[in-house]
Amino acid sequence: MISAKILIIEDDYIVARTIERSLRNGKYQITLASRGDKGLSLAHREIPDLVILDIIMPDMDGYAVCSEMRADPVLADVPILFLTAKTKPNDRIAGFRSGADDYLCKPFNVDELALRVQVILRRTLPPELAEFVFDLEKSEEQAVDANGHLLVVGGYSLDTRSFELATPERGSVRLTPIQFDLLYHLMTHPGVPFAPSRLLDEVWDYPFGRGSTDLVRVHIKTLRERIEGNPQQPTFLRTVPGKGYMVYPPQSSNQQ
């Protein structure tokens, strides 16, 4: 049977088994690791489709595991969901800066966890596996992608087959699945500003009021660092004060 592979790195056995039970629905293959180094070893042995990662662990904490994965070419694109008792805003920001795709605090609601896992996997799984796991139907947008391939705004060209963005100043940049989804959404609406809460809804599929806008801000920042000539003064991926983010063909304006 085809299944999505989820690696849970959690040193509390009861919590780990709770997570496992909440996700064991026949379409996920669950693997448990009680230490960060063990989790990395298992991830190399069989690359997971998602890692659910605790932060507070002995020897090697979750931040270190996340940073090591992001620096590893084999594991760099594996999505990571932090599930942790560290609940302060600075903790969340540190998690996103270390490379996490999402962040959920303990104690957690099992239904919300399942929803967040589904949201991440629907965006990152290969189409054929996503169709099986979530019983997806091919959308009109996917059909357009299959025939069009390239999305061009100004001097930026996004290849929807390879996830590569051709940029005027950085050359060709291969995006992560999350970065691709975010930029694709903005490039299909050039000149239209999107509030972070709206992006959570339309890009990440979070219900209204769910999810952290810090997630959007961190991904905007990392995306700018990869595609803008000067990330501190972006000309393509802009901020519209009071309204949100948008892409626009580069001009001479220093608007950020």
Q: What is the pLDDT of residue 144?
A: 36
Q: Assign 3-state DSSP to the chain and report helix, strand, coil percentages, each to 5.
A: 40, 20, 40
pTM (whole model) above 0.85: no
Strands (E), the chain: 4-9, 28-33, 50-53, 80-84, 102-105, 150-153, 156-159, 164-167, 171-174, 237-240, 244-247
Residues of the chain within CATH 3.40.50.2300 domain(s) are 4-134
Calculated CA dihedral for residues 146, 152, 156, 160, nearest 10 degrees: -10
CATH number of the structural domain 4-134: 3.40.50.2300
Q: How far apart are CA 53 and CA 145, in angstroms?
A: 33
Return the CATH number of 140-247, one of 1.20.140.10, 3.40.50.300, 1.10.30.50, 1.10.10.10: 1.10.10.10
Instruction: Split the chain (256 residues) into runs of 10 and give each run's mean pLDDT.
Output: 83 89 78 94 93 93 94 93 90 89 87 84 71 49 47 85 88 88 88 88 73 86 93 92 83 41
Q: What tokens does 173 get?
A: 């940049």
Task: Give the length of the chain.
Answer: 256
Q: What is the pLDDT of residue 25?
A: 65
Name beta bridge partners: 28: 4
